[in-house]
Structure 1
């Protein structure tokens, strides 16, 4: 691939096979031994076109991106919320993910009849959602509890002051002072105990999400046609060890890169998230937003490709280390299907406007930025009704 004026040119065997204006491109995904000219790399950077590199069989290697965009005030707001108050955003994202997972299972029941295992999983997901409903903002809990504790402590201290007004004995004064300190300490300890009883923090949310995901993938095999030739024994990754997981991993990676680019486009830092912990080389915020799209977008697309017979067990190769990867021709089909999916239109559940599916990462990034700026009281995660 190389640059020609304001376009990207793709050549194969010294023959031009494609030429696209740079402004029409959002991301470029390179699989295998793809040569990219330095001039094109710089051109992509100047035009905010991200280059992502994968092995021939779909394992992600790295990316090249241009200059960071966005104003510093938005990023400072992002960092502050990430450090001080991440729970509400994390809770909303996971609630949307669990709802979407539940609806995938309900759709299977509507189309193919009752299934005891699926119904049991749906019941478990409903329980996870009820758990999330009581996961309140930790700062809000502290504020309410702290205010109540302060009121109690002030009342006790005022009583001690009134006693001091009528005493003249130093030992008695010391006794009153000690009693006031004890009242305050007991109130503080009781507050700490109540905090322990309602440990509403990120670890709890992650635990709820993990339980829900385990239930969901525990019945995922019921969504795959028995005559498809595919077998699914549970979710695995790094590396994926079967065809279903290989498809899921590749789609998660591709959609995740779209989300990362969208976050940068609105001025957010894709590496600083609210649910996923910071880790070198990981776009934690992109992984956060990806949770909203896993079931509704990626999982349903994988099920469609398999159940319609578009991708078959023979379309995969097993590498020496046990990783299962998609063959080039099948990967091309997956990309074509994904691009067609991106062009489909839906009514956005929050905006109420008709939008292309491919724009959803950018819309969610915009809504998150609006929340962080204070324009929206809460972040509205993507969840189709």
Structure 2
């Protein structure tokens, strides 16, 4: 089974025969290339062109985070699976305002439905969250009537602002409080966890897109431009609540992370390496968790679910089957 390789130590990353070799103060470690899905680098790592050529041959993406846990960028090898036919269909759906809006609405519908499921989950465990669920439900009802993507994003932004307010109720009794969403920089520990988790979901989806015929540069909810990948941002909206946020609630609610796992740099509050290690461990466990998929009538993992969502989108683009976002039922 392939896995994500997380590198926290600083050192030198290189190819050694058919393995990835990491030399650091912790020693020299070898990783069989066949077992690696992608590599996420947190430490200060030196590498060379020979390694990048090897990564390209093996179809492995490298994602880089800065010293303070902020996403920097990715080495995205030359695509092996891109299909001109699918990319043309992607572009057609983006350039047609009606078809673009329809897909953007589906991403927001999925995101808000999963947010409501999260709130129901914790409400059933004694948290007073009914007012938050009702407010977000009313916003979700407005999604089909949106006339453009800007209006849609405004509704989604209002819904998420309401959702983030609910964190203080869900995590009542923890040492952390959130006073609104702050991104650049995160102003408190909860915002630091949200930002870090969201970045990981973005790159998890980006890795899966690389294994499909889709082009990550053509998104629908997030505007396609010259600067960045956008399709992964769209699809990640569906999964952030049920992956990133559930990990956050587990880590904080079970006191697995505490004030000592954060540090302040000016106006920013950031995760220390100890906190990042705890987060990725919990996220990987979540991704490998399986559940019974009603349509497929078999168990699938959340990791597999990410790829399946992209296949559903691809079928929509080529006219095989209308796209419906995944919505958690528990």
Establish whether TM, by shorter chain, passes 0.5: yes
* Structure-2 residue corresponding to 1:100: 114
| TM-aligned CA deviation for residue 49 of structure 1 | 0.7
| TM-aligned CA deviation for residue 79 of structure 1 | 0.6
* Structure-1 residue corresponding to 2:46: 35
| TM-aligned CA deviation for residue 3 of structure 1 | 0.9
Match of 2:154 among 186, 201, 207: 207
Matched, 1:124 2:135: yes
In the alignment, the residues of structure 2 paired with residue 352 and residue 281 of structure 1 have an alpha-carbon distance, to the nearest angstrom, of 41
Match of 1:244 among 164, 181, 190: 190
Instruction: Find the residue that maps to 1:29 and give its secondary structure.
Output: strand
Match of 1:13 among 15, 18, 25: 25
Structure 2 matches for 1:191-340, cutoff 5 A? 200-226=147-173, 228-320=174-266, 322-340=267-285
Higher relative contact order (CA 8 A, sep 6+): 1
Instruction: Find the residue that maps to 1:86 and give its secondary structure.
Output: helix
Match of 2:288 among 339, 343, 357: 343
1:92 and 1:308, CA in 2 relative to 1: closer, same or farther beyond 3 A? same
Runs of 4+ residues over 4 Å off in structure 1: none
| TM-aligned CA deviation for residue 350 of structure 1 | 4.7
Cα offsets for 1:153-178 (capped at 9, x unmatched): xxxxxxxxxxxxxxxxxxxxxxxxxx
Cα offsets for 1:298-333 (capped at 9, x unmatched): 11110110010111011111123x222111122112
Cα offsets for 1:27-63 (capped at 9, x unmatched): 1111131222432221112211111111122011121
Contact 2:192 2:271 in 1 (8 A): yes
In the alignment, the residues of structure 1 paired with residue 89 and residue 14 of structure 2 have an alpha-carbon distance, to the nearest angstrom, of 39
In the alignment, the residues of structure 1 paired with residue 49 and residue 26 of structure 2 have an alpha-carbon distance, to the nearest angstrom, of 18
In the alignment, the residues of structure 1 paired with residue 324 and residue 132 of structure 2 have an alpha-carbon distance, to the nearest angstrom, of 25
Matched, 1:89 2:103: yes
In the alignment, the residues of structure 2 paired with residue 225 and residue 219 of structure 1 have an alpha-carbon distance, to the nearest angstrom, of 10
Contact 1:348 1:384 in 2 (8 A): no
Contact 1:96 1:381 in 2 (8 A): yes
Cα offsets for 1:320-347 (capped at 9, x unmatched): 3x22211112211211112212211123
In the alignment, the residues of structure 2 paired with residue 309 and residue 252 of structure 1 have an alpha-carbon distance, to the nearest angstrom, of 20
In the alignment, the residues of structure 2 paired with residue 379 and residue 52 of structure 1 have an alpha-carbon distance, to the nearest angstrom, of 29
- Give the count of matched residue pairs: 314
1:119 and 1:328, CA in 2 relative to 1: closer, same or farther beyond 3 A? same
* Greater C-alpha Rg: 1
In the alignment, the residues of structure 2 paired with residue 66 and residue 350 of structure 1 have an alpha-carbon distance, to the nearest angstrom, of 34
Structure 2 matches for 1:102-181, cutoff 5 A? 102-113=116-127, 115=128, 118-132=129-143, 134-135=144-145
Bigger shift: 75-84 or 58-67? 58-67
TM-score (norm 1): 0.78
Cα offsets for 1:230-256 (capped at 9, x unmatched): 121111102211111111111111111
In the alignment, the residues of structure 2 paired with residue 327 and residue 25 of structure 1 have an alpha-carbon distance, to the nearest angstrom, of 25
**Which has the larger helix fraction?**
1
Matched, 1:25 2:36: yes
Which runs of 5 or more residues in structure 2 are unaligned?
A: 1-12
Contact 2:165 2:178 in 1 (8 A): no
Contact 2:243 2:286 in 1 (8 A): no
In the alignment, the residues of structure 2 paired with residue 64 and residue 380 of structure 1 have an alpha-carbon distance, to the nearest angstrom, of 31
**Which has the larger strand fraction?**
2
Structure 2 matches for 1:54-93, cutoff 5 A? 54-68=65-79, 69-84=81-96, 85-93=99-107
* Structure-1 residue corresponding to 2:305: 360
Contact 2:164 2:178 in 1 (8 A): no
| TM-aligned CA deviation for residue 125 of structure 1 | 1.5
In the alignment, the residues of structure 1 paired with residue 276 and residue 45 of structure 2 have an alpha-carbon distance, to the nearest angstrom, of 15
